[in-house]
Amino acid sequence: MDQQAKKHLQEEFDASLEEKDQYISVLQTQVSLLKQRLRNGPMNVDVLKPIPQMEAQAEVLTKEENTEGDVEPVVGDEASAKTLEMLQQRVKRQENLLQRCKETIQSHKEQCTLLTSEKEALQEQLDERLQELEKMKELHMAEKTKLITQLRDAKNLIEQLEQDKGMVIAETKRQMHETLELKEEEIAQLRSRIKQMTTQGEELREQKEKSEKAGKNSGVTSFMFAFKSHLKCLLGIF
C-alpha cells in the first residue's frame, strides 16, 4: 500500500510538472512573439492570438490581455508608439507571470521534496516502532513459554511428591502395623511365660512348704533363688 501511494503521488507530481512546463512553453512562445514584434515594428497583432490549445493552457491570463490581443492594426506614429508601449507592457506582464509560474513550480518542488523527506522519516520511525513491537512480542512469547514450562514442571513435581508422600505413609503404616503385631506377639509370649513361671512359683511354694515340713529346706531354697533370678530377667526384658 505504501509503494502504491508513493507511486500515485509521483505520477501526480510528474503530471503537474508536465502541465506547468507546457504552460511555461506557451508563455515563452508569447513572449518571443511579442519581442519579435517589437523588433519588426507595428504589424497585425492577430499573430499574438494563441492557438486553441495554448489558450486553454493560458487561462491565468487576464481578461485585459485577451482583449488586447484583439486590437485592430493602426497606422501612424502616435498609434505605433501606443501599440509599442502596449506591447512592452504586455511583454512585462508575461515575463512577470512566467516568473511567478517558475517560482510556483519551484515552491511545489521544494514542498514535494520536504513532504518526501518527512514521509521517509515517518516511514523509518514506523519501521523502527514495528521492529521494537516485534522484538517485544518475541520477548513476551519467550517469557510466556518459560513460565508455562516452569508451571508444568512445578505441577509434575507436586504430583510426584504427593505420590511419594502417599507411598511413604503407606509404607510407614505397614511397618508400624508389623511392629505392633510383633510387639503384641512378644507381649503375649512374655505373659504366657510369666503365667507359666507364676504357676511354677506357686508349685514351688507348695513344695517348699511341704519340704519345710519334711525338713528339706536347703534344696528348696536354692531352687527358689534360681527361679527368682530367672523371673527378674524376664521382667527386665518386658
Task: Residue 83: count other Cβ atoms within 10 Å of its Cβ.
Answer: 21
Give the span between the Cα atoms of 126 and 178, in whole angstroms. Answer: 77
Cβ neighbours of residue 194 closer than 8 Å, sequence gap 6 or more: 231, 234, 235, 238
Task: Categorize the per-residue pLDDT at 223 as very low, low, confident or very high, splitting at 50, 70 and 90.
Answer: low
Residues 72-103: pLDDT tens digits?
444 456 767 777 778 788 888 888 888 888 88
Assess whether pLDDT exceeds 80 at residue 193: yes
| pLDDT of the residue at 9 | 66
What average pLDDT does this structure show over 117-146?
91
Diameter of the chain measured on Cα atoms = 200
Position 158 confidence tier, pLDDT thresholds 50, 70, 90 = very high
What pLDDT, on the 0 to 100 scale, is given for residue 134? Answer: 92
pLDDT at position 100, please?
A: 86
What's the mean per-residue pLDDT of the chain?
A: 75
Q: Please give the residue that has the higher pLDDT: either 81 or 145.
A: 145
What percentage of residues in the chain have a pLDDT greater than 70?
Answer: 68
For 234, the grid coordinates are: 524376664
Q: Which amino acid is at 108?
A: H
Task: Round to whole Å and give the CA distance between 113 and 107.
Answer: 10
Contacts of 190 (CB under 8 A, 6+ apart): 234, 237, 238
Q: Is residue 230 pLDDT above 70, yes or no? A: no
Write b or e for each residue in 119-134: b if 16 or more Cβ atoms lie within 10 A of its Cβ, otherwise e: eeeeeeeeeeeeeeee
Q: Which three cell numbers stand for residue 126?
A: 514506523
φ, ψ of residue 84 in degrees (nearest 5): -60, -45
Q: Tens of pLDDT along 15-63? A: 777 777 777 777 778 777 777 776 765 444 444 444 343 444 444 443 4
Rounded Cα distance, 143 and 226, in Å: 83
Whether the pLDDT of residue 131 is over 90: the answer is yes
Residue 75 pLDDT: 43
One-character DSSP codes across 116-175: HHHHHHHHHHHHHHHHHHHHHHHHHHHHHHHHHHHHHHHHHHHHHHHHHHHHHHHHHHHH
Higher pLDDT, 65 or 133: 133
User: Would you state the pLDDT for residue 236?
Assistant: 59
